Amino acid sequence: MDEFYRALCKAAGEGQVKRREPMALHTTFRTGGPAAFFAVVQTEDELRKTVRVCREHQVPWYMLGNGSNLLVGSSGFPGVMIQLGGEFKQWEITQEEENGHVLFKAGAGLLLSKIGRAALEEGLTGFEFAAGIPGTLGGAAVMNAGAYGGEMKDILVSVRIMTQDGEIRELPAGELALSYRHSCIPEKGYIVLSAVMELKKGNQEEIRAQMEDLAFRRKDKQPLEYPSAGSTFKRPEGFFAGKLIEDAGLKGFSVGGAQVSEKHAGFVINREQAAPEEIRELIEAVRNRVFGTSGIWLEPEVKLLGFETPAFGESADTDLKKE
């Protein structure tokens, strides 16, 4: 591994690679074992070289955004966590049209909250729905993130991606197969580098008021005081996950330090130093109980890494007791 480490440092840049980096520091669940290597790349060239080194040495790698939809097991991740910095955290207005529409380009590593603040400062509307989502632009494009009636597909114009072979392409939004919490990006193995969004000139005070209203609604309804991955489950067609979980009698149900939020049943929270395995067990238990009471399998938005079984199962064991 020393040879690989040296090659990784050369690709990502000196001082940009750490060993045994705790993933509790990089996920919003605030738990998880260490990544064998953690690399922050500043440029497209560094990213291309880093991925190439991983492939040549057959070391697994994972593109990490804000870690807001990720649960890493206690044993950690036996590969390279790659995070985007430098040029991937820049933004610019690339075009202003006479009808008040503006093309806003931002790097994939930029937090949605920072894009929201930039849009507000520029008096641009259309991004308010996403400003409070705890993720990066790259992650938001990959999963077509949305909230409060808005989705990324409503504003995305194009996405700049890198293929597994290091080729860079500019793809129009219409080629991304965007639907509810889905795009073709992960299926094709693309890495999002940046995205162009179409926003509109608006009234700055009205934009600010809308952002503040959505922030208040989040704080009022969601358990933001505890670590979590946000909304844990995708919304089943025709239903609300939180309502199904509450109807199943699981509000406040816990496994170790993990708990179904008493404030909003759609959130699984790290209430008290929960181990990743406790959070996973709780999510599995919720899915099984809800299936038993409603016949609906809830699909988690959370991705698993560092577990022996890297996906959620469907055991239909619904014999649960509230702790």
CA 124, 198, 142, 302 dihedral sign is positive
- Tokens of residue 98, six digits: 């006479």
Residues forming the active site: 181, 231, 301
Three-state secondary-structure class, residue 127: coil
Q: Of 237, 226, 159, whose CA–CA distance to 195 is shortest?
A: 159
Q: Which residue matches tokens 């129009």?
A: 172
Under DSSP, the state recorded for 36 is E
- Quickly list DSSP for 41-88: E-SHHHHHHHHHHHHHTT--EEEESSSTTEEE-TT-EEEEEEEE-GGG
Q: Of 90, 104, 92, whose CA–CA distance to 202 is shortest?
A: 104
Three-state secondary-structure class, residue 34: strand
Q: Of 42, 54, 43, 41, whose CA–CA distance to 7 is shortest?
A: 54
Q: Which residue matches tokens 């409503």?
A: 154
CB 133 within 8 A of CB 145: yes
By residue count, the chain amounts to: 323
